Structure 1
Amino acid sequence: MSKQTLSNVLLYGILDMGYVDEQKATEVTRQLIAGGAGALQIRAKRWGRERIAAMAERVLPITRDAGVPLIINDYPEVAVEVGADGVHVGQDDGTIDEIRYLVGEDMLIGRSTHTPAQAEAALEDGFDYIGFGPVFPTPTKAGRPGIGMENIQSVHEKVGVEIPMFCIGGIKPENLDQVIAAGARRVVVVSALLQADDIAATTAEVVAKLKG
């Protein structure tokens, strides 16, 4: 497997199992991809490794057929086991060298960042992409205040021109124009897509706004 790139991805989707019925996960995956999500992460904070791996094995044929990278949250070893395209880690989940040792040279590694300094450090360390946020307070990051939008443009100019930078946290169609105006080029949208009546249509709406 040669390393993929997220340079052409505008919308990064997350299959967050806190929002998705396990039995409907493959259909939700298809809808996100049909709407234009260019990458998909499996996130299941309360699940064990085996359950996450089993879900990834269900989803992977769909993402592969669509040419959409599948990324596993938190568990490098699961990403390797199932043959995913990448792994996403937080600030406390090890160094780039430790993670790269586990997953090899051909897997994408992303890092969550919450300050300009963390974003710049992720670039310097050699991560393939970053998430930057939460822009707004969000239930998926309970207890973490929104960082606001004042740093989006400056971080994009320092980091986002070098590696893909995805703004994340409380972003939805209703506030996306603000986030774009603040300098965002790429975003992650979670609950606003997963709880939508028509996931594919709402995903397509977000992608259309990002394309301008």
Structure 2
Amino acid sequence: MSTHPGPVPVVVVDDEPMVCEFLRTILSATGEITVVAAAHGGTAGIAAVRRHRPAVVLMDLRMPEPDGISATREISALPDPPVVVAMTTFDTDEHVLAALDAGAHGFLLKTTPPDQLVPLVLAAATGASVLSPEALDRLRRHRSSEPPRRADPELDALSERERAVLALLAEGLSNADIATRLYLSEGTVKGHVSRLMTRLRCANRTQLALRADRPR
């Protein structure tokens, strides 16, 4: 979660300089975000994070030295790590799932419209899940095409209230929206989400949402 005063500091990691400059232009346009560094490889991205201590890292998944998944894992292991958001063209869904397992808080398609990009990055800085609508829809379709898995005893052991919170979280609702839907206080919902992360061994809300969507 960002505690930086002023514009949210962001590091962009992509091995294509044109992509970095495009993102810098879009993100900087409103004055709410500042791109403090653009790195063109995994090693350079890790160094930039160590140097600039950004709130958010936009991480391309297909890069050399090392790839985005390995870089995400190393960045997520740092003390007080930034929020890492994976960027992908979505030609391989498995890479996205691997990035989430490595610690990414969400993912965006590189085709995300510019008017959606800034709000999503600002949301990421607050610790919220970051899933562009198109990306989430495509990933859910991919997950639904997988063969059914065995019964999940951890999900089966959840209380009715916990199941309700998890289902609404998987729809992309915020804690405040879940509280309104379930007639609970926002603090109560926050407590449920925290316990769900612990019980289901998920590092963030995005992983929880995908856990709820697994074919059964």
TM-score, with structure 1 as normaliser: 0.37
Greater relative CO (CA pairs within 8 A, separation 6+):
1
